[in-house]
Structure 1
Amino acid sequence: MGVVAAGAAMAGDSLSVRAAMMRESLQKSQTITDDVVSILGSFDHRLSALETAMRPTQIRTHSIRKAHENIDRTLKAAEVILAQFDLSRQAEAKILRGPHEDLESYLEAIDQLRRNIRFFSSNKGLKSSDGVLGHANSLLSKAISKLEDEFKQLLKSYRDTRSSVLEESLHKLGVEKLSKDDVQKMQWEILEAKIGNWIHYMRIAVKLLFAGERKVCDQMFEGFDSLGDQCFAEVTRSSVLVLLSFGEAIANSKRSPEKLFVLLDMYEIMRELHSEIETIFVGKACAEIRESASSLTKRLAQTAKKTFGDFEEAVERDATKTAVSDGTVHPLTSYVINYVKFLFDYQSTLKQLFKEFENGDEGGSQLASVTMQIMQALQTNLDGKSKQYRDPALTHLFLMNNIHYMVRSVRRSEAKDLLGDDWVQRHRRIVQQHANQYKRNGWGKILQCLTIQSLSSSGGSSVAGDGGNSSGVSRAIVKDRFKTFNMQFEELHQKQSQWTVPDTELRESLRLAVAEVLLPAYRSFIKRYGPLVENGKNPQKYIRYTAEDLERMLGEFFEGKNVNEPKR
């Protein structure tokens, strides 16, 4: 117990000591703190004094920093300006060299110059900006002017080159530059061939050459339609002119019937190419070319129509002295009919042509009317030519042959649909009328020899010694009648075997018509009066022919034999 108490007392003493030491330490810390506070207070006072002393220096430093910043900005702005000047000088050097050396660099220089102008325009505060802008704008104007000159040169070069290529292409095809005088002096066969070639050339030129050139131009000037049209017009003008001028020379040359068909051929090709010409030569710049083509088409139509009219007049007034001694188809008839038949190969073209000149009228009716007028003109001319024959029988044979040729040709061609069945039937009746007139004029006299009435009216009563018969007709009169018949028939045979009926069917029909009248009359005459001669001397001197002989000899009529040609 005592030991525990002693221990406790010792512990209490130790704590007291420690507490005393802590108080002493705290007192020292307070003293130090007070000293530090005193020192810090002194520092604060000194710092305030220092700050007051440093304030002017800080202001000067700030001003210097601002000045440096301004100098930097100014230098940078100056660098930009100097760079623009440098770029301007570079652009000016390229521009002064011109675009022909390096077009791409030249265009870049112009773009740079424009950027420089925009820069100085937005920085007009600069003292030199006005002068710089004036110089730059002047230089830009010169640059654009040079560029325009260069472009014009390029365009000219393009036009000249392409124009030459086109002209050379036409020349290789065979196209020639021919004037109206050249055309007038040319022989028809040569001119006809050249017209055929021209039609071929026109088709190739429009469909291939000009169409191809239009594609090239459209690609070259894409987005610049007006300029492309102008360039295309200038490239093609001379070539088009060469082709159209030949057409104009033909259209304006002296008219003649044989030119009608080539005129229609030329008119056809111009109408065929019309839509393509309008499409290829589009635009205001090509208006003159389109108008020239259209003018040629109209001129060809007018000349063709006038030539058609001239043909009708020429047919009616034809005064050719071509001998048709055998009464066959006259060359004029075959010429006119062939002409009309050829015209019907151009029926649709002719209808179109007449439609252009007859407002509101169908071309078909006009074509039918003109064709009928040509046929009537031919008949009028043939009537005049038929009067050249002294023998009326040959006159009618001639008209029969020619009108029959007209009818047959019409029936076998498209003209029948145009002229109509009425025309055909009317003219067939005319053919029959002339056949009847031929028989009446050619055989009336010889048939008169074989009539009983003519014997009875011849006078001469029968006497026993003269060998009379129950009819009271003397042998002498009968002999004389046989002699007359023989003489007349031989004369007809000699003459009419030289005449011609070229159509086989018509020839056989005419022979049959004569035989149907002649042979029965001859048989009847021989039967009645033959015995008077047969019972006398030399009966074969008077009765030379049997009916079969006459029939055989009739088969030689209308064959167009020469006088010296031997008999069959």
Structure 2
Amino acid sequence: MRKLFFSPENSPSSSSISQFPTFSRQAGSSPSRLTYADSVMNRTLRMAEPIIMKWNPETTTVAAVTSLFYENHREAKELIQWVNNLQKAMGLVVMENTNQEKLVRAQNLMQIAMKRLQKEFYQILSMNRAHLDPESVSNLSSRASTRSSTSGYEDDGDDDIRAANQLIFSEVEGASRAAMADLKLIAECMISSGYGKDCVNVYKIIRKSIVDEGIYRLGVEKLNPSHIHKMQWEVLDVRIKSWLNALETAVRTLFDGERMLCDHVFARSDSIRESCFTEITRSGAMTLFGFPENVVKNSKKLPEKVFGALDMYTAISNHLPEIKSIFSFDSTTNIKTKAETSLITLSEYVKSALNDFELAILKDSSKTPAPGAGIHDITIDAMNYLSQLADHRSILTEIFPESPPPEHNLLPETYMGLTNPDDPPPSPISVKIAWLILSILCKLDTKSKLFKDASLSYLFLANNFQYVVVKVRHSNLRHMLGDKWLLLHEYKVKQFASSYERLGWGLVIESLPSDPSSLTSRDQVKETFRKFNRTFDEVCMKQSLYVITDSSLRDEIKKSLARKIFCSYRELYDTHGRTMGGDRNTAVLVRFTPDDVGHRLSELFSDRVEPGTTLPFASSSVGFGSPCSFERW
């Protein structure tokens, strides 16, 4: 008690001391005279008893139904002051071991006052739910920060805006600050009087209900594993999106505002602040931060689930510094650990999903070729998957900080376009993505052997490689693989297109003389026209079944064929076509005009094939080169 009442930090304030009798006992005074403690107690009881009894909820109807802090704020602060004085007077009586009857009377008054203050504490918390909601409390700090940062700015327009904003928020802000101040005043009085437990219990019950209700309203609820496993992806995806919004609001508003309120009300006691905040937020926080781990562990394996996992990883990672700051107490370590565990679980799931993706490509054994040597479904699906992954490249870089497995390091430097020793090495995630695309290209090489015609195999590879290149160029994959990778694979597309032209159109090109004037006899001219008619007609009939889906590749191949066929035929036609006019079989010999040839070429490679079209496919091993050699790529 000596430490409590005579230590510097607990010494009575000047305003409190002024209300005590200011006399001292003299040596040798008569024992019948009042002691200093008795005098202080008498005066304190005389002043404190009327106001305490006035607001005794058990003796007056008005006190039972009215809020003291709402009806008469000045009198409320006066009651707090006299309760504090009563506590000090009781301390003096205890130290001097004087009139115990007065001590019992004071204790009874103290109990009545504590009941009153507990009731007031409850009423303030209950009646000001809107003003003490976490968003309002959190905004107090942000608005104060904004005012502080702009207080020196001298612009009339901005001054008007700030004044307007101040008018909008002043009422809510004022009510919030007043309620927080009253709660703090009551809490400090009850705690210093030894009734902190009653105050804390009320606070925990009301504020926990607010936090739990807030989590529920944000759409977060604890789900059992079997429920998640049975859930359709569309439903689970909606829940994930709802959780992403909930995390943002919960961290920056709900938990942050609750921490600020708790720190303010119980500013005098670190232990009470910690116990209150921990008990209020533990259940809601554990449910919120445990949701991602629950989802990835218990939901069905689906390719699209990886994007939900990446979104959840991004959200927790971005908010982790705030989470650690808000839940900085030792007793909230398990909450921080739960958030960090979810990050680890999500990271491991993403790594596993990419390995499963690679394995699915390698295991694909479908024997149905792409119609018209067009884009295979595996190319479309795989590249769409990877391009969406690339949208999360910054997070993937965080998830894949180490080098990929040793077998992935077998990628030759030329595959990544790295021919200069001074080139910076690619990031681990770039190597991982490059390896996955290589797996796709190798699988496409295997698929190309399903075509009986070798030229068709090359057209299939040109189509699909072009799709890969375009997808990389127009997505964030470009930033991961680099322009050198693109140049290398664009060159591969040209090689495949050239091989297709050579094998598919070689007979037509060879049927045309490089110099029409070298044909000196009429028979040579006739044979040349006959050979061109036959080969051109056959090849055009065959090639009309094939497609080139990319417009730029289609135009390049058409231009190349026009240079090699149309121009050569026009020269042959201009040189010898009219000289055949006297022949009875001219119409048979010269079946095509240059315009006819140009028209036939322009109609080739429609971007779709009609259903039911029969194409020259075969599952034989007709092919070229090794099934997947790095030198080829």
The aligned residue for residue 39 of structure 1 is: none
Amino acid at match of 2:282: R
Structure 1 pair 353–363 and aligned structure 2 pair: CA distance change class (3 A): farther
**Alpha-carbon shift at residue 564 of structure 1 (Å):** 9.8
Task: Specify which of 220, 236, 256 is matched with residue 175 of structure 1.
Answer: 220
Amino acid at match of 1:373: W
- Say which SS state the counterpart of residue 391 (structure 2) adopts: helix
Asked if 1:324 corresponds to 2:301, the answer is no
For 1:208-247, what per-residue CA distance to the aligned partner results, in whole angstroms no more than 9, with x for missing partners? 0111111111122112112211210110111112212221
For 1:430-482, what per-residue CA distance to the aligned partner results, in whole angstroms no more than 9, with x for missing partners? 11211121112212344455579xxxxxxxxxxxxxxxx9587697xx3xx86
* Structure 2: distance between partners of 1:356 and 1:435: 38
- Say which SS state the counterpart of residue 207 (structure 2) adopts: helix
Task: Specify which of 362, 381, 405 is matched with residue 335 of structure 1.
Answer: 381
* Structure 1: distance between partners of 2:222 and 2:331: 24
Q: Which runs of 5+ in 1 are unaligned?
A: 1-71, 89-98, 124-128, 453-468
The aligned residue for residue 281 of structure 1 is: 327
Between stretches 220-229 and 541-550, larger displacement belongs to 541-550
Point out the structure with max Rg over C-alpha: 1
Query: How do 1:229-378 and structure 2 match up within 5 A?
Result: 229-252=274-297, 253-319=299-365, 324-355=370-401, 365-378=427-440
Task: Specify which of 91, 95, 115 is matched with residue 118 of structure 1.
Answer: 95
Asked if 1:191 corresponds to 2:236, the answer is yes
* Structure 1: distance between partners of 2:403 and 2:228: 27
The aligned residue for residue 507 of structure 1 is: 554
**Alpha-carbon shift at residue 339 of structure 1 (Å):** 3.2
Structure 1 pair 530–393 and aligned structure 2 pair: CA distance change class (3 A): same
Between stretches 545-554 and 319-328, larger displacement belongs to 319-328
**Alpha-carbon shift at residue 558 of structure 1 (Å):** 0.6
**Alpha-carbon shift at residue 205 of structure 1 (Å):** 0.4
Q: Is the 8 A contact 1:407 1:424 kept in 2?
A: yes
The aligned residue for residue 210 of structure 1 is: 255
Q: Is the 8 A contact 1:278 1:290 kept in 2?
A: yes
- Say which SS state the counterpart of residue 326 (structure 1) adopts: helix
**Alpha-carbon shift at residue 150 of structure 1 (Å):** 6.4
**Alpha-carbon shift at residue 158 of structure 1 (Å):** 2.3
For 1:519-553, what per-residue CA distance to the aligned partner results, in whole angstroms no more than 9, with x for missing partners? 35545766898699765544323432123211210
**Alpha-carbon shift at residue 165 of structure 1 (Å):** 1.0
Identical counterparts, % of pairs: 30
* Structure 2: distance between partners of 1:526 and 1:168: 86
Structure 1 pair 220–504 and aligned structure 2 pair: CA distance change class (3 A): same
* Structure 1: distance between partners of 2:425 and 2:295: 24
Q: Is the 8 A contact 1:229 1:283 kept in 2?
A: yes
Q: Provide the aligned C-alpha RMSD in A.
A: 4.4
* Structure 2: distance between partners of 1:388 and 1:483: 33
**Alpha-carbon shift at residue 267 of structure 1 (Å):** 1.4
The aligned residue for residue 492 of structure 1 is: 539
Q: Is the 8 A contact 2:313 2:346 kept in 1?
A: yes
Asked if 1:556 corresponds to 2:603, the answer is yes
- Say which SS state the counterpart of residue 557 (structure 1) adopts: coil
Q: Is the 8 A contact 1:257 1:308 kept in 2?
A: no
Amino acid at match of 1:307: A
The aligned residue for residue 6 of structure 1 is: none
Q: Is the 8 A contact 2:546 2:609 kept in 1?
A: no
The aligned residue for residue 426 of structure 1 is: 488
* Structure 2: distance between partners of 1:522 and 1:276: 74
* Structure 1: distance between partners of 2:228 and 2:611: 48
* Structure 2: distance between partners of 1:181 and 1:74: 81
The aligned residue for residue 442 of structure 1 is: 504
Greater RCO structure (CA 8 Å; 6+ sep):
2
Q: Is the 8 A contact 1:354 1:363 kept in 2?
A: no
Q: Is the 8 A contact 1:163 1:236 kept in 2?
A: yes
Q: Is the 8 A contact 1:355 1:363 kept in 2?
A: no
Amino acid at match of 1:435: A
For 1:229-283, what per-residue CA distance to the aligned partner results, in whole angstroms no more than 9, with x for missing partners? 1210110111112212221122324444322322222111112111111111111
* Structure 2: distance between partners of 1:108 and 1:363: 74
* Structure 1: distance between partners of 2:525 and 2:322: 93
Q: Is the 8 A contact 1:351 1:363 kept in 2?
A: no
Query: How do 1:47-66 and structure 2 match up within 5 A?
Result: none
Structure 1 pair 424–541 and aligned structure 2 pair: CA distance change class (3 A): same
Task: Specify which of 246, 266, 274 is matched with residue 221 of structure 1.
Answer: 266
Q: Is the 8 A contact 2:222 2:287 kept in 1?
A: yes
Q: Which runs of 5+ in 2 are unaligned?
A: 1-28, 46-55, 60-78, 116-189, 405-423, 515-519, 613-633
Q: Is the 8 A contact 1:211 1:280 kept in 2?
A: yes
* Structure with the largest fraction of helix: 1
Q: Is the 8 A contact 2:402 2:428 kept in 1?
A: no
Amino acid at match of 1:372: A
